[in-house]
């Protein structure tokens, strides 16, 4: 940014303490206009207004001082506003169609005005003089102000780190070797930070197990090669410390309902849920799931997650899209008959209610214990198709979060049960059944006006595949650029770490260039 974040206020008369004479101006109030600086909303106690025919947005002078880092002043006798910052001295006088910028006369479409006792200045003109880029996003009715880095420094730039099957960390070759596992994680962070990433979502519960010492579930086999085997260090504590040391955020990623990637139980530890509570388990598609319809089973999962919230300095709790399986049969009729106190007549609606109760209860537990910990979920990228629901997205996906996984994300957003949502939009801008841009449009609209942040899940793992649109790393860059159409998109998350690290089709230098890294 070309100006300092805060300059000592010029000791001149300002509107905060000296009344001014109002003049009549023709203006159209625009209470729906929002103003953002580098993705962060600017609040104003007086709504901005637009001068008709000039398309000039006027804002209170104090917005400039409180949000854009400039010193401001007002001279009542000459009705002149002063704005100064590093390398800039700007004056504007009521009624004059020009301003003085560092002593030079510059024409104005609209100069400073006084309206209802408040000094109002032209936002675009002042912002440009302060070295900001200014644009208007029609879809969001928002004025976007961007500093030199385009605001990318403020975005969440995250990566999912999978531990299931040792996909991202740790390697199977590091079993039983504390130092090797630590070094692998350090190198992973170094490489991700080099790409511009500032947040990791690390899978600490891949399979009804734990990457931390738990009183409820066994140690993961993906640490030592055997379920329940105790490592000689605390992997979660180490990862959090190393992540925070680099100024990065750490979100603990939990797979909530998956109990096993197969149906074998003979090698499971005695405290594994499939052994200790076999009546909670439903087998579907050759995998074991914890039945979401059983209240005690849901509580068991919440208790396991809350161990981490209470004992570790995590920045967030993150769930993936493993709720009900997306296909196949799920034999939960007995649970439906036994645990349907609300008398829900449709089993699909009952399943969605089970997940809703789980999400609501988990969110309340997290925020009661640590209000600053963020709670977010990464659902399948299509909530519902328009063909099935006129409020759904313009897609024709064969699977949807609502109908197949029984994940009613819309309710979670509207009820403020989650702090952020990361839809997995794993399709290209040219994949017609579920086009990336159409889905971003839909999700941005879904969170608009809500208290839920939107990050977009990307799929670099598809680069180089035969699916439409993945023959160039530019696809990912184009997706990132498209996101800038919406102030609602606060960042991006990539699946997964190994797919970024292998630099598919030259993605790493493309990302560094996009993020302005030298």
Per DSSP, the three-state class of 505 is helix
Per DSSP, the three-state class of 50 is strand
Give the DSSP letter of residue 230.
P
Question: CA 439, CA 427: separation in Å to the nearest integer?
Answer: 9
Nearest to 515 by CA among 198, 42, 247, 250: 198
The secondary structure element, H or E, covering residue 259 is: strand 258-260
Assess contact for 356 and 411: CB atoms under 8 A. yes
DSSP notation for 410-471: HHHHHTT--SEE--B--S-TT-GGG-HHHHHHHHHHHHTTSS-EEEEEE-GGGTTSSSTT-S
Q: Which two tokens stand for residue 180?
A: 């090797």
In 130-177, alpha helices (H): none
| pTM score over 0.85 | no
Question: CA 144, CA 36: separation in Å to the nearest integer?
Answer: 5
Question: CA 285, CA 426: separation in Å to the nearest integer?
Answer: 23
Residue 38 CB neighbours (<10 A): 17
- Which residue has 């600017």 as its token pair? 42
Predicted local distance difference test score (pLDDT) of residue 466: 97
The vertex-7 CA angle with 6 and 11, nearest 5°, equals 135
Predicted local distance difference test score (pLDDT) of residue 149: 61
Predicted local distance difference test score (pLDDT) of residue 14: 36
Assess contact for 384 and 329: CB atoms under 8 A. no
Assess contact for 456 and 440: CB atoms under 8 A. yes
φ and ψ of 48, to 5 deg: -65, 160
Question: CA 10, CA 27: separation in Å to the nearest integer?
Answer: 29
Residue 203 CB neighbours (<10 A): 24
Assess contact for 311 and 303: CB atoms under 8 A. no
The low-confidence residues of the chain, meaning pLDDT below 70, are 1-31, 149-154
Residue 338 CB neighbours (<10 A): 11
- Please, which residues have CB within 8 angstroms of residue 376's CB and are 6 or more apart in sequence? 251, 316, 317, 318, 319, 418, 419, 420, 421, 422, 453, 455
- CA of residue 43 relative to chain centroid, distance: 21
Residue 208 CB neighbours (<10 A): 27
Question: CA 470, CA 468: separation in Å to the nearest integer?
Answer: 6
For 306-344, how does the pLDDT look when each residue is reduced to its tens digit (9 = 90+)? 999 999 999 999 999 999 999 999 999 999 999 999 999
Tell me the β-bridge partners of 199: 158, 249
Question: CA 71, CA 151: separation in Å to the nearest integer?
Answer: 22
- CA of residue 380 relative to chain centroid, distance: 15
Backbone torsion region of residue 12, taken as left when φ is above 0, otherwise alpha when ψ lies between -120 and 50, otherwise beta: beta
Sheet strands (E) in 130-248: 133-137, 142-146, 156-161, 199-205
DSSP notation for 328-385: S----HHHHHHS-TT--S-HHHHHHHHHHHHHHHHHHHHHHH-TTSEEEE--BS-S-B
Tell me the β-bridge partners of 284: 287
Question: CA 381, CA 435: separation in Å to the nearest integer?
Answer: 10
């Amino acid at each position: 940014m070309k100006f300092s974040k805060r300059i000592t206020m010029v000791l001149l008369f300002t509107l905060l303490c000296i009344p001014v004479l109002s003049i009549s101006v023709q203006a159209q109030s625009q209470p729906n206009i929002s103003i953002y600086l580098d993705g962060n909303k600017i609040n104003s106690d007086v709504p901005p207004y637009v001068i008709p025919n000039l398309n000039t947005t006027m804002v209170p002078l104090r917005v400039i001082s409180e949000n854009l880092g400039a010193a401001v002043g007002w001279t009542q006798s000459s009705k002149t506003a002063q704005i100064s910052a590093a390398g800039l001295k700007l004056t504007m006088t009521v009624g004059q169609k020009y301003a003085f910028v560092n002593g030079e006369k510059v024409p104005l479409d609209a100069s400073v005005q006084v309206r209802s006792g408040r000094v109002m200045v032209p936002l675009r003109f002042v912002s440009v003089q302060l070295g900001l880029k200014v644009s208007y996003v029609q879809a969001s009715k928002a004025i976007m102000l961007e500093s030199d880095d385009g605001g990318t420094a403020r975005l969440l730039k995250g990566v999912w780190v999978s531990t299931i099957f040792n996909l991202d960390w740790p390697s199977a070759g590091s079993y039983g070797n504390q130092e090797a596992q630590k070094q692998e994680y350090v190198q992973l962070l170094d490489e991700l930070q080099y790409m511009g990433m500032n947040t990791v979502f690390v899978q600490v519960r891949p399979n009804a197990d734990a990457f931390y010492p738990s009183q409820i579930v066994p140690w993961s086999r993906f640490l030592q090669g055997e379920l329940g085997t105790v490592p000689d260090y605390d992997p979660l504590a180490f990862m959090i410390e190393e992540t925070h040391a680099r100024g990065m955020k750490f979100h603990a990623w939990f797979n909530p309902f998956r109990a096993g990637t197969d149906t074998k139980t003979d090698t499971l530890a005695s405290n594994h849920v499939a052994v200790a509570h076999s009546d909670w388990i439903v087998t579907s598609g050759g995998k074991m799931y914890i039945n979401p319809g059983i209240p005690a089973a849901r509580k068991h999962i919440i208790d396991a997650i809350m161990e981490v919230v209470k004992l570790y300095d995590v920045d967030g709790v993150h769930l993936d899209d493993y709720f009900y399986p997306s296909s196949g049969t799920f034999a939960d009729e007995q649970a439906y008959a036994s645990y349907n106190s609300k008398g829900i007549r449709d089993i699909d609606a009952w399943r969605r209610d089970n997940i809703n109760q789980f999400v609501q209860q988990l969110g309340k537990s997290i925020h009661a214990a640590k209000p600053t910990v963020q709670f977010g979920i990464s659902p399948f990228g299509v909530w519902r198709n328009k063909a099935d629901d006129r409020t759904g997205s313009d897609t024709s996906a064969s699977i949807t979060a609502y109908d197949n996984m029984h994940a009613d994300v819309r309710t979670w957003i509207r009820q403020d049960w989650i702090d952020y949502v990361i839809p997995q939009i794993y399709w290209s801008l040219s994949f017609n059944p579920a086009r990336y841009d159409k889905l971003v449009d839909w999700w941005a609209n879904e969170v608009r006006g809500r208290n839920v942040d939107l990050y977009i899940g990307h799929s670099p793992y598809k680069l180089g595949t035969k699916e439409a649109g993945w023959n160039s790393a530019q696809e990912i860059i184009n997706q990132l650029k498209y996101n800038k159409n919406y102030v609602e998109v606060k960042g991006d998350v990539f699946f997964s770490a190994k797919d970024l690290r292998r630099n598919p089709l030259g993605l790493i230098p493309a990302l560094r260039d996009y993020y302005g890294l030298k």
